[in-house]
Structure 1
Amino acid sequence: MSFNQEFDEHSAWRRERARHLQTLAGWLERRDLLDAGARERLAQLQERLASDKVMVAFVAEFSRGKSELINAVFFAGYGRRIMPASAGRTTMCPTELGYDADLPPCLRLLPIETRLQPQSLMEWRSAPHQWERIDLDVNDPSQLAQAIEKVAEVRRVTQEEARALGFWHDEQPDDNPLPGLDGLIEVPRWRHALINMAHPLLKQGLVILDTPGLNAIGAEPELTVSLLPQAHAVVFILAADAGVSKSDLVIWREHLAPSAEHGDSRLVVLNKIDTLWDDLTSPDDIEAQIARQRVQSAQVLGLAPQQVIAVSAQKGLLAKVRQDETLLAESRLPELERALADDVLAHRREILQAHVRTTLQQLRTEVGHLLHARTRELVEQIQELEALRGKNATVIRQMRLRIEQEQREFDAGGARIQAVRSVHLKHLKELFALLGANRIKADVAALAQALKQPGVKFGVKKVYAEAFRRLHGGLADAHRMAAEVQDMLAGAFRSLNAEYGFALQVPERLDLSRYAEELAEIEQSHLQYLGLTNVFRLAQPEFADRLAKAVLSRLRKLYEEASNEVELWNKAAASQLDAQLRERRKNFARRIEAVHRIQEAAGSLDERIAELQARLDDLQAEGDEWTRLTAEASLAEAMPSATPRPEVGLAAQQTASV
């Protein structure tokens, strides 16, 4: 299947998983088995399935056919080009294509002059009045394409302005753009573009990031330290006739290779293989040329040859528009689409499957223990009432007094349970402090100060390493603290289970190691800005300030995610205790009511035992049904998709959606 078809399947899979979780939540709610922790875990997972994004970033130097490739893979259903792809420079600023239901279809453009101000791109996103907005008519492909052409607009500025904007470097004259006859420099008119449109794939969660050439990438730290690392796949485009040029290699080494630990998420495309098609050259010779370019490009970039895919985006787009299967096969575009589907969507689904699987397992265990506790208490009640057969009123009254005494003793033990809570909350407060914003600021304070120093920043690499050493140390402390909280809870739960007959289970051990791995990736992704090749760019106050803000922004997001995971883990433990306390109090009330009814002759002993036996049978049926529901959810979770997909083409989907 093509990437578009695979994405449809992926979206159907997400919807089916969310439906199963909703069914489980409703079943638990109706039976008073859905505690606060389980409710939040299910809600978060359903939200994640509904709003999960898959970002594919396209990176290339100018004139590599990047925008044409985006048109061919994603927008051929419109029957024409949507992204500007004429000869020469096209997309001049980073462009994100996505869908937000709260916004009308529109193109938003951030002026390039905002680079002269200290705000980061993330901050500018929260200032919509600073962006120029153009409404899009998604029913009119011509208007859509014409409006999006604005991302190719340029300005002509003086050398001084170009230097201030980050497009002219006196220390690196070979990388500077050529001035015109009037001495002016051509620079992008816009700093960033956001396109919101109801394309079927975008509506289902696809985000496309179209990045311009080396100058624009290097001048925006947030691209390489925030946006590109977030991409689930990065497609790096080369020209098939030229292979890896000097500027291509700079982009790869400085901006892509440092964060390419997961090599299968980096695909290299040798585009424009149609330039090698030649009536004077045999097909075998053409194939040999393409094979050599693939192998040579892979060697230069340090990749496996299968990660370099040769295509013709222009012929692929033409073939899709004309529905020419022969030309489509010759363009080799389907090979790239299959690679994207296999590498991106399969990996994304594995991650989501792991979360669904973990949540189902936790729920199965927790609800199973709660059902077991209810069953045990019902059996004890039946045995308690069976012991009253043939007994007189005095014995019955004594039993009621004994139950009331047990209830008072249990309530008196609340102080001990509260003490467990207090110790638990004290440890949690210390844990959250290790992951809080104040701790981050303290750890990176010296780095922020070093980046603010004017001129060439000698020694900043050492300060950078020390800052991340402190951050890694703090995360290690948090990991140890989480283990201590876990051990403390395990001991307290064992004691409460023994004393009160609870069935408390400590949640699975909180593992913060993945955040340490992400922290290491963040550290690595910034290093290229601290080397000799960027020493003069780093000397620019505006650039250094943007870099500092980009680092801090990404760190904040990482630590917020870690804090949220701790909070969810805590609720899973606390809500379990609350649920069993609530069940025990209900059980006391039911036991007293049963004896009271017998005392008042409101119901015979046999009738009450029969009621409890019926409830026990219902509880057994609920247990069987819970086992069946979770088994079905687990089975469906492992299937590719349980929802049939109508056989319609992308063009038909687009017509229906717009």
Structure 2
Amino acid sequence: MTFNQEFDEHGVWRKQFALRLKLLSEWLSDHDLLEAGVRERLDQLHAQVKNDKMMVAFVAEFSRGKSELINAVFFAGYGRRIMPASAGRTTMCPTELGYDAEVPPCLRLLPIETRLQPQSLLDWRNAPDKWERVDLDVNDPQQLARAIQKVAEVRRVSQAEAASLGFWNDETPNENPLVGSDGLIEVPKWRHALINMAHPLLKQGLVILDTPGLNAIGAEPELTVSLLPQAHAVVFILAADTGVTKSDLGIWREHLSVVGEDKATRLVVLNKIDTMWDALSSPEQVQLQIASQRSDSAEILGLSPQQVLAVSAQKGLLAKVSRDDKLLQASNLMELETALGEGLLGQRRRILADAVSKGIQSLRQETGRLVHTRARDILEQVQELDGLRGKNTSVIKQMRLRIEQEQADFDASGAKIQAVRSVHLRLLKDLFAQLGNTHLKSRVSELARALKQPGIKLGVRRAYGKTFERLAVDLNRADQLAAEIQSMLEGSFKNLNAEYGFSLQPPTPPQLSAYHKDLALIEKSHLQYLSLGNALRLAQPEFAERLARALMSRLRVVYDTAVNEVELWNKSAAAQLDAQLRERRRNFTRRIEAVSRIQQAAGGLDERIRELQSQQSQLNLTDAKLAELTNHLLAEPEAEAIAA
């Protein structure tokens, strides 16, 4: 299937899963099973599926046909170009296309002058009033294309202003843009662009990142250390007739090169193969030339030949608009769409399906424990009442007194249970402090000072290495604290289970060691800026400050994610204990009520036993229905993973 078809199918699965999850939530609520921990797990699953995004970044040097490729793959249905794709430079600033139902269709543009202010790009996202907004009419392709043309706008500024914005450096003349006859320099008018529109694929969670060329990429460190590493897939576009040029290789090595299994997230497109369609060469000769370029490009970039595809975006767009199947086949565009769908999207779908399956299994365990606790309590009540058959009033009275004493003893044991909570919360406090924003800032402070030093920053690489060594040590310490808390929970829950007949089971602890990979990716994405080749750029105070802000923003995202995982783990453990305490108190109340009824009416004993047996049968049905509903939900992500 093509990428569009695969994504449509993925969207249908997400909608169906969300509906079934809602039905499960309503069913749990109707059966009084929607305890705090269960609700938290449901909310997490719902958010995970509803808010799942797939970002595909398109990266290329100028004039490689990147915007045209986006038009051909995603916007051919409009019957014309939507992204600006004329000759020369088109996308002058990073442009994100996505969909947010709470925001009307619009184009938002962040002025380039914001580079002169201390806020990070992430901070600017939370200040919508600072962006210029252009409303979009998604039903009018001409208005849409005309509005989006603004991402290609430029300004002409003096050398001094260009330098302050990061586009000019006297120390690196070869990298500077051309100076016009009027002595002015052309720079992008906008720093970042956000396009919000209800395109079918964008509505289903696709986010497209269209990046500018090498000069603009290097001038905006937040793009390369934050946005690009977060992309689930990167499509790198080259010109088919030239293959990998020096500037292409510079972008690849500095910003896109990955190792190991992450290589599967990279796809290279040799665009403009129509320039090689030569009337003096046979079709076979042309294909041999293209195959040779694919093989050479794959070898240079360290990828498998299957990850390098040759297409003509312009002919593919024309073929789709004119419904020319022969031209579409010649453009090879559908081969690219299939690779995007089955390869990159398929991998993302498998990851999501696996995460959802684990969440459903945890939900099932937590809810199942609650059902089994109730079933056990009913069984104990039946056995207790059955032992009263043929007993006199005095024995029944003694039983009531015994139950009331058990209840009093249980209530008095609250101090012991509270002690468990206190130890748990004290350890958690240390863990949250280890992952907190204050601690993170202190760890990055030495590097921040090194980056703020004037001139050439000779010690910055050493400070950078030490910073990430400390962060790795902190993460190991946090992982050890989590293990200690888990060990304490296991011991405490085991004692409470033995003493009070609970069925507490510690939830799966957070896997904080997994965040070492995220730290390694962040470290790698910044290393390029600390090389000797970037020493002069790093000497610019504005650039060094932007780099420090970008680093802190990215680290904060990783740490916030880790904190969220710890919070879910904590809530799951606390909610489980609260639920079983509530059930035990309810059980005491029900037992006393049952004995009271028996004392008041001779036939009350048999009637109460029948009621309890009926409740027991109902709980068995509830347990079976829970298994059925969760099995159905588990089958959904399994089917999704297989389809992927």
TM normalised by structure 1 equals: 0.95
Q: How does 1:617-636 map to 2 (within 5 A)?
A: 617-636=617-636
How far did residue 372 of structure 1 move? 2.0
State the match for 2:560 in structure 1. Answer: 560
Aligned residue identity for 1:632: H
Matched, 1:196 2:191: no
Q: Say which is worse superposed, 285-294 or 605-614, in terms of deviation.
A: 605-614
What secondary structure does 1:640 align onto?
helix
How far did residue 117 of structure 1 move? 2.3
Aligned residue identity for 2:301: L
How far did residue 340 of structure 1 move? 1.0
How far did residue 273 of structure 1 move? 0.3
What secondary structure does 2:293 align onto?
helix
State the match for 1:250 in structure 2. Answer: 250
Instruction: Measure the CA separation in 1 of the matches of 2:386 and 2:455.
Output: 88
Instruction: Measure the CA separation in 1 of the matches of 2:437 and 2:21.
Output: 33
Instruction: Measure the CA separation in 2 of the matches of 1:93 and 1:602.
Output: 85
Aligned residue identity for 1:601: A
How far did residue 604 of structure 1 move? 2.3
Instruction: Measure the CA separation in 1 of the matches of 2:33 and 2:261.
Output: 43
How far did residue 258 of structure 1 move? 5.2
What secondary structure does 2:388 align onto?
coil
State the match for 1:505 in structure 2. Answer: 505
Instruction: Measure the CA separation in 1 of the matches of 2:356 and 2:124.
Output: 35
Aligned residue identity for 2:521: E
Q: How does 1:338-357 map to 2 (within 5 A)?
A: 338-357=338-357
Instruction: Measure the CA separation in 2 of the matches of 1:278 and 1:260.
Output: 39
Instruction: Measure the CA separation in 2 of the matches of 1:458 and 1:633.
Output: 56
State the match for 2:213 in structure 1. Answer: 213
Contact 2:350 2:640 in 1 (8 A): no
Aligned residue identity for 1:64: R
Aligned residue identity for 2:171: E
State the match for 1:648 in structure 2. Answer: none
Q: How does 1:81-230 map to 2 (within 5 A)?
A: 81-230=81-230
Aligned residue identity for 1:402: R
State the match for 1:577 in structure 2. Answer: 577
State the match for 1:649 in structure 2. Answer: none
Instruction: Measure the CA separation in 2 of the matches of 1:387 and 1:160.
Output: 94
Contact 1:258 1:524 in 2 (8 A): no
What secondary structure does 2:516 align onto?
helix
Instruction: Measure the CA separation in 2 of the matches of 1:25 and 1:443.
Output: 43
Q: How does 1:463-542 map to 2 (within 5 A)?
A: 463-542=463-542
Contact 2:276 2:286 in 1 (8 A): yes
Aligned residue identity for 2:406: E
State the match for 1:317 in structure 2. Answer: 317
Instruction: Measure the CA separation in 2 of the matches of 1:606 and 1:103.
Output: 63
* 1:379-408 deviation per Cα after TM superposition (whole angstroms, max 9, x unaligned): 111111111111111111011111111111
Q: How does 1:221-370 map to 2 (within 5 A)?
A: 221-257=221-257, 262-370=262-370
How far did residue 166 of structure 1 move? 1.6
Matched, 1:588 2:577: no
Contact 1:109 1:131 in 2 (8 A): yes
How far did residue 509 of structure 1 move? 3.0
Instruction: Measure the CA separation in 2 of the matches of 1:243 and 1:188.
Output: 27
How far did residue 602 of structure 1 move? 7.5
How far did residue 260 of structure 1 move? 8.1
What secondary structure does 2:229 align onto?
helix
How far did residue 600 of structure 1 move? 0.9
State the match for 1:16 in structure 2. Answer: 16
How far did residue 603 of structure 1 move? 4.8
Instruction: Measure the CA separation in 1 of the matches of 2:567 and 2:132.
Output: 40
How far did residue 64 of structure 1 move? 0.2
Aligned residue identity for 1:624: A
Instruction: Measure the CA separation in 2 of the matches of 1:96 and 1:151.
Output: 11
Instruction: Measure the CA separation in 2 of the matches of 1:202 and 1:76.
Output: 14
Contact 1:9 1:641 in 2 (8 A): no
Matched, 1:425 2:425: yes
Instruction: Measure the CA separation in 2 of the matches of 1:108 and 1:609.
Output: 68
Instruction: Measure the CA separation in 1 of the matches of 2:537 and 2:531.
Output: 10
Contact 1:151 1:190 in 2 (8 A): yes
State the match for 2:58 in structure 1. Answer: 58
Q: Say which is worse superposed, 170-179 or 621-630, in terms of deviation.
A: 170-179
State the match for 1:654 in structure 2. Answer: none
Instruction: Measure the CA separation in 2 of the matches of 1:308 and 1:84.
Output: 25
Instruction: Measure the CA separation in 2 of the matches of 1:191 and 1:299.
Output: 35
What percent of counterpart residues are identical? 67
What secondary structure does 2:93 align onto?
coil
* 1:179-211 deviation per Cα after TM superposition (whole angstroms, max 9, x unaligned): 223332222122111111111111111111110
Contact 2:42 2:363 in 1 (8 A): no
How far did residue 274 of structure 1 move? 0.4
State the match for 1:656 in structure 2. Answer: none
Q: How does 1:363-512 map to 2 (within 5 A)?
A: 363-512=363-512
* 1:496-552 deviation per Cα after TM superposition (whole angstroms, max 9, x unaligned): 101111111111232112212111111111100100111111001110000000000
Matched, 1:3 2:8: no
Aligned residue identity for 1:313: A
What secondary structure does 1:336 align onto?
helix
Instruction: Measure the CA separation in 1 of the matches of 2:642 and 2:120.
Output: 43
* 1:280-324 deviation per Cα after TM superposition (whole angstroms, max 9, x unaligned): 111110000001101111111111111111000000000110111
Instruction: Measure the CA separation in 2 of the matches of 1:63 and 1:515.
Output: 38
What secondary structure does 1:268 align onto?
strand
Contact 1:56 1:208 in 2 (8 A): yes
* 1:573-605 deviation per Cα after TM superposition (whole angstroms, max 9, x unaligned): 111011111111111111111110010118521
What secondary structure does 2:508 align onto?
coil
Q: How does 1:592-607 map to 2 (within 5 A)?
A: 592-601=592-601, 603-607=603-607
How far did residue 436 of structure 1 move? 0.3
Instruction: Measure the CA separation in 1 of the matches of 2:365 and 2:36.
Output: 16
What secondary structure does 1:241 align onto?
coil
* 1:137-181 deviation per Cα after TM superposition (whole angstroms, max 9, x unaligned): 212111111111111112222222222222222222222222223
How far did residue 239 of structure 1 move? 0.2
Q: Say which is worse superposed, 55-64 or 251-260, in terms of deviation.
A: 251-260
Aligned residue identity for 1:633: L
RMSD, aligned α-carbons: 1.6
Aligned residue identity for 1:161: E
How far did residue 95 of structure 1 move? 0.8
Aligned residue identity for 2:469: R
How far did residue 344 of structure 1 move? 2.6
Structure 1: where are the runs of 5+ without partners? 644-658
Q: 1:260 to 1:178 in 2, by over 3 A?
A: farther
Instruction: Measure the CA separation in 1 of the matches of 2:239 and 2:258.
Output: 22
How far did residue 130 of structure 1 move? 2.5
Q: 1:625 to 1:258 in 2, by over 3 A?
A: closer
* 1:476-513 deviation per Cα after TM superposition (whole angstroms, max 9, x unaligned): 00000000000000000110101111111111232112
Contact 1:259 1:525 in 2 (8 A): no
How far did residue 118 of structure 1 move? 2.4
Alignment coverage as a number of residue pairs: 643
TM normalised by structure 2 equals: 0.98
How far did residue 617 of structure 1 move? 1.0
What secondary structure does 1:102 align onto?
coil
Q: 1:256 to 1:642 in 2, by over 3 A?
A: closer
Q: Say which is worse superposed, 85-94 or 149-158, in terms of deviation.
A: 149-158
Q: 1:242 to 1:463 in 2, by over 3 A?
A: same
Aligned residue identity for 1:635: A
Instruction: Measure the CA separation in 2 of the matches of 1:180 and 1:508.
Output: 63
State the match for 1:550 in structure 2. Answer: 550
